[in-house]
Amino acid sequence: MKFKKPILIAISLGIIVFAIIQLSIIITPFRATPKKSDAIIVLGAKLWGDRPAPMLQYRLEKALELYNEGYGDKIIVSGAQGHDELITEALAMKNYLVENGVPENVILEEDNSYSTYQNLYYSNKIMKENELESAVIVSNNFHVHRSLMIANRLNMDVSAGPTKNYPNLALTVKYYMREVLAYIKDFVLVR
C-alpha cells in the first residue's frame, strides 16, 4: 500500500509532462512564421521508389512556395537513402524541385542523414561551407517543434515553414504520439 501513492504520483507527472509536450508540438506550427533567410532546408521523409511519398511532397510544395516568394536563395534538401528507397531522399527532392522550375544550381544536396538531428547537423555544415547564415526549416506540422529545438541546440538561425500532414486521422494521431517520444529522446540526447 505504501508504494501505491508514489506510483500514482509518478504516473500523474508522466501524463502531465506528456500532455505539455504534446500541446507544444500541436501549437508550434500555428505560431511559426517563416522569415526571409539565406536558405530553405527541406527535411527528408519517405520515398516511394524514387519519388516523394505524400508527406515529403507536401514539404516540397511548401519549399517551392517559399522559394518563389523569396524566402531563400538556396534550397538544402536533406536525407540519405533508406533500405527500401531506390535513390537518396535528397536526390529525389532535387529532381522534384528541378522538374518544378527550380534551377539546379540553387539546390544543395545533403545525403548523409538518417535522422532529424543528422538532417540539421549536416545541413548546418553545408550552410557554413556556403556562407549561409539563416534558414527556413520546412517540415510537416507534427515535426516542426522538435526540428526547431534541435536547430536551436545547434546554434542555427532558423524559422519554420510548416506544412500539412497526411489527411488520415489514424496516421496523424500516430505521428503526434510518436513525436512526443522522439522529442523527449532528442531533448535528453542532443547537446
Domain positions in the chain: 4-189
Which set of grid coordinates corresponds to residue 160? Answer: 519554420
CATH superfamily of 4-189: HUPs (3.40.50.620)
Tell me what the mean pLDDT of segment 123-138 comes to.
Answer: 97
pLDDT band (50, 70, 90) for residue 1? low
Quote the pTM value. Answer: 0.89
Model confidence at 147: pLDDT above 60: yes
- Quote the DSSP letter at residue 72: -
CA distance 160 to 183: 17
Residue 136 φ then ψ, to 5°: -105, 125
Distances in whole angstroms, Cα of residue 24 to Cα of each of 19, 21, 72, 133, 180: 9, 5, 27, 27, 10
3-state secondary structure of 97: helix
Tell me what the mean pLDDT of segment 132-143 comes to.
Answer: 96
- 44-87 pLDDT tens trace: 988 998 999 999 999 999 999 999 999 999 999 999 988 888 89
